[in-house]
Amino acid sequence: MSIERNALIHQNVPCPFCGLGCDDLVVQTISKNVEVIENGCPRSILLFNSTDSSSSSEKNLIEGQEVDFDHALKKAAEILVNSKQPFISGLATDVAGMRSAMELANHIGAVVDHMSSKGLFNNLLALQSDGYINTTFTEVRNRADVIVIAGPAFANGFSRFFERLIRPEGMFVDTKERKLIVIGEADTDFSKELAPGQTVETIHCKNEQLGEVLKGITALINKGHLQSNDIGGIPVDKLRLLAEQMQAAKYGVVVWSASDFKFSNAELTVQSINTLVKALNKNTRFAGLPLGGNDGIMTANQVCTWQTGFSLRTSFANGKVDYDPYQYSLDTMLDKKQLDSLLWISGFDSAQAPPVTDIPTIVLGRVGMAFPKQPAVYIPVATPGIHHAGNSFRGDSNVSLRLRKLTESSLPSVHKVLDQLLENIRTL
């Protein structure tokens, strides 16, 4: 840890940039410069440290031309007022920002969908179909003795998963008793991530065959007969051994990241995971742990759900709330040319720019954002957890992190911009 002179040190800083919601970072600030100096992962180090406080990065733009904040806000209001079907997406913000986005959507009749909702809906569609038995990060750390990683669970980050959940001693389990089973195309040597005494077993199959492999294990647990000698290239005898290991667990957990299931009908694979967990609970205790939560998606979905009774992909057109997970995705409505304006919110990561489209696009984005095509309006915003306090939901949806203000910024929060935008719209 390198501490510079005149630096202000912040202990136990919560990180809003990943679904793990780590809250033990040590961060130093010197004026407006921010640096993670302890307990950071590559993603947190990049996004905390990439604070650009230069005046050139804080310009409000209309079609690439610098304007003042009031002119940018007025232009954005005009676009939305004249839009027949506006769409609000990105939605990478904190609770206050999302609440304001929902209020705006209700007033202008917009559709709301998060930039990363495809993975979320791989889980939600399975939940809505059959339900599931899920657990929390705390329960995994304190109780789990068998952890099954299904598919590429760490392709999207979560690099401190083992450090935070698997290696530490639990309240009700001996760390040395933990066994890791990896099923899929994993090419990572997870043994390097484990504590002394912990073991790992890797079972190779194609990720798109993961669902049928898990169904085979479920059939064996239910005393069913498999007519094939192998499933997904895995011998049935091997699957039977896996079934026995899972049934012998005192508290087992299946971990997956649905956003990394890059194949069609991925929700059916999640459904297979849920079915396996239910079968295991007939004789032991097992639960699921879906990994997710980057770019504030859990926050966006939680706020949308408690304010409307529905998850994301909800429309406020025609003066009523209408939920449709297929019709109201951003990709679908862009492909079908069913929207004529887009408000894109990306307050965490400047790399998350809006899709290139011909429709007027308004961007509330973190400083440093680059655009292949200049949006109609760009308003730079402050970053929650760096420039202002706020609240953000962790990936297991059970804990709301209290984000802290670490340094000053002249930029407004998403919440304040959206509230002022709505005021402008009401005057037009």
Q: Which token pair is 113?
A: 């969908």
CA distance 86 to 343: 8
CB-CB contact of 80 with 330 (8 Å): no
Q: How confident is the model at residue 380 (pLDDT cuts 50, 70, 90)?
A: very high
Q: How confident is the model at residue 57 (pLDDT cuts 50, 70, 90)?
A: low
Tell me which of 53-67, 226-240, 318-332, 395-409 is least confident: 53-67
CB-CB contact of 384 with 347 (8 Å): yes
Query: Half-sphere exposure (CA, 13 Å, Cβ side) for 220?
Result: 25
Q: What are the pLDDT digits (tens) for 68-110? A: 999 999 999 999 999 999 999 999 999 999 999 999 999 999 9
Q: Which token pair is 314?
A: 């909800």
Give the contacts of 156 (CB within 8 A, at least 6 positions apart).
257, 259, 260, 291, 294
CATH numbers and ranges of domains, the chain:
8-49 (no CATH), 55-116+295-427 (3.40.50.740), 120-292 (3.40.228.10)
Which residues is 147 bridged to in the sheet? 180, 253
Full DSSP string of 272-323: HHHHHHHHHTTTS-EEEEE---GGGHHHHHHHHHHHHSS-SSEE-GGGS-EE
Q: How confident is the model at residue 52 (pLDDT cuts 50, 70, 90)?
A: low
Q: Is the pLDDT of residue 196 over 80?
A: yes
Nearest C-alpha neighbor of 17 from the set 41, 39, 34: 41
Q: For position 185, what pLDDT does the model report?
A: 87
Q: Is the pLDDT of residue 55 over 80?
A: no
What b/e sequence results for 56-65 when a residue is b if at least 16 CB atoms lie within 10 Å of its CB, and e otherwise? eebbbbbeee
Q: Is the pLDDT of residue 177 over 90?
A: no
Q: What is the mean pLDDT of the chain?
A: 93
Q: How confident is the model at residue 37 (pLDDT cuts 50, 70, 90)?
A: very high
Q: Of all helices (H) and strands (E), which one includes residue 147? A: strand 146-150
Q: For position 16, what pLDDT does the model report?
A: 94
Tell me which of 118-127, 149-158, 217-226, 407-416 is least confident: 149-158
Q: What are the pLDDT digits (tens) for 236-294? A: 999 999 999 999 999 999 999 998 898 888 999 999 999 999 999 999 999 999 999 89
Helix (H, G, I), strand (E, B) or coil at 67: strand
* Residues across the chain: 428
Q: How confident is the model at residue 51 (pLDDT cuts 50, 70, 90)?
A: low
CB-CB contact of 93 with 345 (8 Å): yes
